[in-house]
Amino acid sequence: MQTSLHMEAPVTTPKELRNLEDRPKRYWNVDGIPELMMGLVWTLWGGALLLGDALPKSTGARAYWLIVPSILVLSGFVANWATRRLKERLTYPRTGYLEYRDPGRGMRLLMGLLVMLSAAALAALIVTGRAAGMEHTAGPVLGVILSLAFVVASVRQKAPHFLALAGVALALGVAFAALKLGWSAMNWLFVWLGVAASVVGAWRLRRYLRQHPTEAQT
């Protein structure tokens, strides 16, 4: 007498498929390390450009500007490598993947408000830029664009903390429009936005490590 065993394949629902697809995204945004590294890189970029502008026009200054592009590109590769190594050492042993909660109604309203404010500020800067010239509008416009980018990233990646950086970028754009710093506003934007991102990333990493101690710490 022969018997056969029939094993039914487990049914995967669309929600489970989306959950699997979103795991790398949740893993990437759970601990504050990416924001910390991004902030350090942006601060380095802005500081390097400001230093170059402050140097007297000489052979040394020309040599400095020759190596600056390599420094900027290399810093991006180093930050990416450091982010992955830190996650391998700190994040994966503690939680692996961790899911964000969907933003509530208040958070969605805040997102919409930031988008409207950013769009209004961008329109105003473009109109006034025709009279003031691009020198005084490039930095503020970049600040508004980065603010909108952070809002979009917050929605797509379910990362509400990006709204804080969106607010900082928008405030810097408005401040630079009033101060009329010229082209240096773009460099200062990277410096101060980089500092803000580093602070947010460091705070989130500290909170994450406290909430998820290793077995040796418990």
In a domain, 55, yes or no: yes
| pLDDT per position as a tens digit, 139-168 | 888 888 888 889 888 887 778 888 899 999
In a domain, 107, yes or no: yes
Q: Are 176 and 143 in contact (CB under 8 A)?
A: yes
Domain residue limits at 50: 24-211
Number of domains comprising the chain: 1
122 against 61, higher pLDDT: 61
Query: What 3-state DSSP class applies to 32?
Result: coil
In a domain, 2, yes or no: no
In a domain, 104, yes or no: yes
Close Cβ partners of 177 (under 8 Å, ≥ 6 residues apart):
125, 128, 136, 137, 139, 140
| pLDDT per position as a tens digit, 169-184 | 989 988 888 887 777 8
* pLDDT > 90 fraction of the chain, expressed in percent and rounded: 20
| pLDDT per position as a tens digit, 93-118 | 887 755 445 556 665 666 666 666 65
